[in-house]
Structure 1
């Protein structure tokens, strides 16, 4: 039977933090070298931990787009990475109290090229207006199709607090929107993000100007600094600020997110697996404990094979994008421009993404519009694309920032 249509999820202050989940895949690049060098007991423990949260969702997703290639080694892969703001367990304290259900303000399509020459990550704005298909739960019941903000899909699927059901509804929505076959998925939560950043020993960031946000519990001085897990989470959830250039735009938060992801990836790639084994072990365990994913991804054997195929990848080969968009007529949400189809077609056919940026996709949108306060906005028609930084060390980045 069908259940009543779920309410639209409120715009949680914890928005951007849930976006950080996808970097766990990049971060797991450490897994290859570690397994080759140390192997054994740690790998067995990681397999057990990953398997505990692994679940395939093909039967819940239902009809799928045509898969363009065989899924043998070396073929292109599309991985959907989602962030969850579930308030179960330790996440309640981090997220700010008990809230039922699950929400996500973060979804990224991570495309791994067949020749392993590049990884391209496309952020889907949470306020993007889309058609959301009927979603199915594990007991066979369904929730009606609807339309509205993209992140309703995860909320609909997550009404019962099950990350796999939430992922299935989001996958179905993404595949319907883009025609891109999703090979794998991963979901990460608040507490897991903090643990992963702390396990890395922090993430270096260059802050252009002071930022003070009471809502995000964040107070940053301008200049070089290293974020611990809680500070990185606060920066990631940042939506409004009493001081600093923070517009409230979800697109601006995507821009900040991508900058943070670049530095997380750079930090991971800078690790020396032969001399920092305790730190790497701690990080890999944090990754394993924090992710819900499909069963194939939740295998060190599979991950080692995938990551070995990416051994020649550099940070400059990891690129972030936002699909071409514009504001809706009421300036409250966003919609895709026709050029977005070019991006989806590039991914479907494993071509480098051809849509280029024409400025900062964050624009001048002001959160006050949702509170009926006067503000201005200008449409943005371009994708946000930022090349990853070179593989500099933490000290290099902080020196450059001074």
Structure 2
């Protein structure tokens, strides 16, 4: 008989070299995974930072800067303020350059004039901003200007306002406006039509409202009635056309431009744009590639700093008006500024908000479209909270806007 037990306890296995008893056999693997994750995150961070830097450099290099300071003479004094910021007056010029395809939709000859002129006043506390449209057909006494080579560009009496740009570019326009109004222009921006199309497309189109459908083979404008989103090409036609959409030519076009700019501001600052990096980059790329700026805005960082100052300004605090004007009696195709224009310039120089009378008919960036699908307002797009009168409705229709 075998006296040995039929079963016995196994001896514990000898520890493997280099491994402690009780150690987690998966720990080396976990450490490897952790290192891979960390290295991957670091690489992604470096790639992202590189991409941002690359994008920033590309956008920054697209800026066109023009120093006009030496060409400006007898400039107004700047308002002294007690706060940390100063009021800003920014002149925006839309150039009448027919270099882009389809810009000359109305058969105008071009000639390098300024098709759109908008003076934007921003209060020192950044709580309010308003843009003032200046009719290109308004007759003014244009002062002498200085050309880039130092020569004198003779002034003229009862000259159309936009001849200042045609004769001497942005410098002459700034000189003319400062001499006529006493308002110091802090910055100027020139935008060409090519950039306008790209900027609109970059944000996915801009909403407008038409009181009636338009189908005009001559100008190639085909738009539906009511509220709709226009792409860049149709938007350009919408803001440039002055014979079909508006019964009053340049006046109607100017009001439509105000409504469109207000709607575009609304779209750009909306979550639908700011939360889309691709749209933000495309918009900035289009903007920087089509802007000419003064020397104090010579980099993307300075533009960003300027934009950040508007974070306190609500959309309802951004309004668009026209300089008070009337028809020039000897020629009904021309305009002149009225006495109320002097009151407007005084308020801007003193950094005061718009008076009730000056706000009449203003367009509000918080409600730029208005129309039947939105809330009726005191005047088209003004967000005034009451239904428009019959006179205001007729004026809106004459301007090609919904009431």
Question: Could you tell me which of 145, 153, 156 is aligned with 2:167?
Answer: 156
Q: Name the TM-score, length of structure 1 as normaliser.
A: 0.74
Relative contact order, higher structure (CA 8 A, sep 6+): 1
Q: Equivalent residue for 1:265?
A: 265
SS at match of 1:196: helix
How do 1:276-315 residues align onto structure 2 when only pairs under 5 Å count?
A: 276-315=276-315
> Is the contact made by 1:92 and 1:98 (CA closer than 8 Å) also made in structure 2?
no
Q: Measure how far apart 1:112 and its partner are.
A: 0.9
Which range moves more in the overlay, 67-76 or 313-322?
67-76
Structure 1 regions of 5+ residues with no counterpart? 1-35, 158-165, 359-382
Pairing 1:176–2:153 present: no
Pairing 1:385–2:386 present: no
SS at match of 2:292: strand
Write the distance in 2 (CA, Å) between the matches of 1:49 and 1:202: 23
Write the distance in 1 (CA, Å) between the matches of 2:264 and 2:273: 16
Pairing 1:324–2:321 present: no
Q: Equivalent residue for 1:54?
A: 65
Write the distance in 2 (CA, Å) between the matches of 1:285 and 1:313: 24
Write the distance in 1 (CA, Å) between the matches of 2:166 and 2:368: 37
Pairing 1:87–2:98 present: yes
> Is the contact made by 2:344 and 2:358 (CA closer than 8 Å) also made in structure 1?
no
Write the distance in 1 (CA, Å) between the matches of 2:82 and 2:287: 25
Q: Equivalent residue for 1:104?
A: 114
SS at match of 2:80: coil
> Is the contact made by 1:128 and 1:335 (CA closer than 8 Å) also made in structure 2?
yes
Structure 2 regions of 5+ residues with no counterpart? 1-48, 376-401
Q: Name the TM-score, length of structure 2 as normaliser.
A: 0.74
Which range moves more in the overlay, 230-239 or 298-307?
298-307
Count how many residue pairs are aligned between Structure 1 and Structure 2.
325
In structure 2, the CA distance between the partners of 1:391 and 1:152, relative to structure 1 (3 Å rule), is closer
Q: Measure how far apart 1:220 and its partner are.
A: 1.4
How do 1:65-144 residues align onto structure 2 when only pairs under 5 Å count?
A: 65-69=76-80, 74-88=85-99, 91=100, 94-95=103-104, 101-144=111-154
The superposition leaves residues 203-228 of structure 1 with CA deviations (integer Å, 9 ceiling, x where unpaired) of 12222211233443212121232100
> Is the contact made by 1:270 and 1:391 (CA closer than 8 Å) also made in structure 2?
no
Please tell me whether Structure 1 or Structure 2 has the larger radius of gyration of its CA atoms. Answer: 2
Write the distance in 1 (CA, Å) between the matches of 2:241 and 2:325: 22
In structure 2, the CA distance between the partners of 1:119 and 1:212, relative to structure 1 (3 Å rule), is same
> Is the contact made by 1:210 and 1:222 (CA closer than 8 Å) also made in structure 2?
yes
> Is the contact made by 2:226 and 2:371 (CA closer than 8 Å) also made in structure 1?
no
In structure 2, the CA distance between the partners of 1:71 and 1:151, relative to structure 1 (3 Å rule), is farther
